[in-house]
């Protein structure tokens, strides 16, 4: 389902297997557990890199699991939306820089998971960003919209992401300011690029608690929506 590997100061979280890496309650619980492990083992200079195996980084929620409940499908969807909110909150609350290495497609909640990282790298040869909600007739959760507002600076880019149904390839996503880089020709290439960035960030030996405090101060509305509160350490140290 997913694994966490420690390589010196770097934590490498991998969504394993060749499936679509959809977020099911078990997947959500596994990711949260690994975030807790990384947080507990973090030191000055820690960095988290998240990637996946196969064609997909993540294709969103496990809609088949929800629909298998018949009349209980809506309740299951609400359950996943609510529990996934804790994944986004935990990621934004990690006391270290975070980097998403997109091995393939990132759609819906899978795309929101990627955008919750501090840096996002895509492949040049494969993979799209796709918010499928318009096409399948599902509303966008409020914290998804707030995450896009917080992370995507241009109104045009937000429109292209949420109101067009487009499948954005790497170069277009870079041009719109949604991702940082899409210059990599393979899954291995994008991981190597993020490992290089991770080593550079780790070498700075930043205090993780200060880092996360500054991160949360950048996104006050999103953090309030995610129930992330706490003192801004940077302001107290001035």
Q: What is the pLDDT of residues 137-165, one digit of tens each?
A: 999 999 999 999 999 999 999 999 999 99
Q: Determine the pLDDT at residue 233.
A: 45
Residue 20 and residue 56 in contact, taking contact as beta carbons nearer than 8 Å: yes
Please state, in angstroms and rounded to a whole number, the distance separating the CA atoms of residues 173 and 56. 17
What confidence tens digit (pLDDT) does each residue in 44-66 have? 999 999 999 999 999 999 999 99
pLDDT tens for residues 81-96? 999 999 999 999 999 9
Specify the pLDDT at position 230: 59
pTM for this prediction: 0.95
Give me the chain's average pLDDT, please. 95
Task: List the one residue out of 127, 131, 138, 137 whose CA is nearest residue 162.
Answer: 131
The confidence band for 237, taking pLDDT boundaries of 50, 70 and 90, is: very low
Residue 235 token pair: 């302001």
DSSP characters over 187-204: HHHHHHHHHHHHHHHHTT
- For residue 124, the model assigns a pLDDT of 93
Q: How far is CA 156 from the centre of its chain?
A: 21
Hey, what are 178's tokens?
């949604």
């Amino acid at each position: 389902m997913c694994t966490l590997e420690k390589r010196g100061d770097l934590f490498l979280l991998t969504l394993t297997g060749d499936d679509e890496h959809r977020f099911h309650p078990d997947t959500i619980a596994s990711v949260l557990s690994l975030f807790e492990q990384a947080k507990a083992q973090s030191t000055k200079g820690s960095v988290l890199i998240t990637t996946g195996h196969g064609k997909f980084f993540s294709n969103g929620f496990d809609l088949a699991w929800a629909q298998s409940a018949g009349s209980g499908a809506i309740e299951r969807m609400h359950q996943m939306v609510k529990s996934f909110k804790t994944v986004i909150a935990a990621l934004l609350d990690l006391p270290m820089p975070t980097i998403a290495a997109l091995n393939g497609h990132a759609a819906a909640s899978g795309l929101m998971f990627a955008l919750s990282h501090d840096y996002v790298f895509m492949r040049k040869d494969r993979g799209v960003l796709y918010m499928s909600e318009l096409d399948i007739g599902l509303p966008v959760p409020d914290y998804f919209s707030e995450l896009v507002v917080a992370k995507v600076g241009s109104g045009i880019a937000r429109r292209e992401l949420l109101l067009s149904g487009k499948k954005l390839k790497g170069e277009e996503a870079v041009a719109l300011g949604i991702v940082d880089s899409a210059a990599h020709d393979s899954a291995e290439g994008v991981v190597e690029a993020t490992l290089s960035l991770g080593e550079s960030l780790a070498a700075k030996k930043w205090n993780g608690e200060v880092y996360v405090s500054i991160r949360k101060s950048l996104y006050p509305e999103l953090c309030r929506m995610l129930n992330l509160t706490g003192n801004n350490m940077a302001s107290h140290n001035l």
